[in-house]
Amino acid sequence: MAKTDILKEIVAKKKEKLIAAMQQLSEEGLKSALAGLPATRPFKEVIAKPRQISLIAEIKQASPLKGVIRQEFDLQDIARNYQEAGVQAVSVLTEEDFFGGKASYINEVKSIFSGPVLRKDFILEAYQVYESRYLGADAILLIADLLTKDKLVEFMAIADSLAMDYIVEVHDEKELKKVLGLKVPVIGINNRNLRTLEVDFKTTEKLFTLIPKDKIVVVESGIKSSQDVLFLKILGASAVLIGTAFMEAPEIKQKVEEVMGW
């Protein structure tokens, strides 16, 4: 039996949501609403500290693979735990149907967490880049598998013009090749295949050596222990993005300290 392509389902649903969003607030309306917003918080500098590995701690209530991950989902409490643990940046999932996210979460988190916030979603249109700034995001995730080279260039230029940083995420050599041809400062290696949802740590081992040393590399998915983090630190990764391990933990702050060795 063929495996379901989860990414296809997510993208189809996202396109429906986008049509509705654009009917409520046009791209022009969105752009004019950006005037006078508070400045973005620097993301890239915060996750690229020499000789240390930074943490982008994720907030998500659910995932397509596991369903609801955190039953007692208290957004403010999670943000407070991340703040107290001293994490460098927070990633907030805003995708509603598969991850239980909400657009409003970004500013709610920013009212408690003093560092930069990454909007993690499935960005398919320029509209969503402007929307991310409107929602309070300091940085966005762009998935190479979903976007042509031209779209990546366009979205990165818009993000630059809005003073937002971005992670361009890859999970195989073909996607990496596409991204290395562009001026991408931060590359994310996702150990999870977004189509099958399988996680393979060898993805990082394979791709990391192909990335030039001047790039900031963030490793995502499947990072569960201090051994995993130590391995990635020795490899030379700048940052790790960890969600599930923290969302499943009864005591988030304690888990962050344990996994990061802080």
Q: Are 57 and 90 in contact (CB under 8 A)?
A: yes
Tell me which of 14, 110, 120, 178 is the catalytic residue. 120
SS3 sequence of 98-123 = CCCCCCCHHHHHHCCCCCCEEEECCC
Collapsing DSSP to helix, strand or coil, 160 comes out as: helix
- The reply to whether 63 belongs to the active site is no
- The reply to whether 173 belongs to the active site is no
Q: What is the DSSP string of 38-75?
A: PPPPP-HHHH--TTS-EEEEEE-SEETTTEES-SS--H
CA distance 182 to 178: 7
Query: Tokens 């400045």 appear where?
Result: 39
The pairing of beta strand 62-63 with beta strand 67-68: antiparallel
- The reply to whether 72 belongs to the active site is no
Tell me which of 131, 221, 253, 255 is the catalytic residue. 221
- The reply to whether 49 belongs to the active site is no
Q: How far is CA 167 from CA 138, 187, 250, in A?
A: 11, 6, 29
- The reply to whether 120 belongs to the active site is yes
Tell me which of 131, 169, 175, 253 is the catalytic residue. 169
Q: Are 54 and 239 in contact (CB under 8 A)?
A: yes
Q: Which of 171, 166, 256, 172 is nearest to 216 (CA)?
A: 166
- The reply to whether 255 belongs to the active site is no
Count the Cβ atoms, other than its own, within 10 Å of residue 178: 18
Tell me which of 14, 58, 178, 238 is the catalytic residue. 58
- The reply to whether 169 belongs to the active site is yes
Tell me which of 110, 178, 220, 255 is the catalytic residue. 220
Tell me which of 60, 178, 253, 255 is the catalytic residue. 60
Q: Which residues are catalytic?
A: 58, 60, 120, 169, 190, 220-221
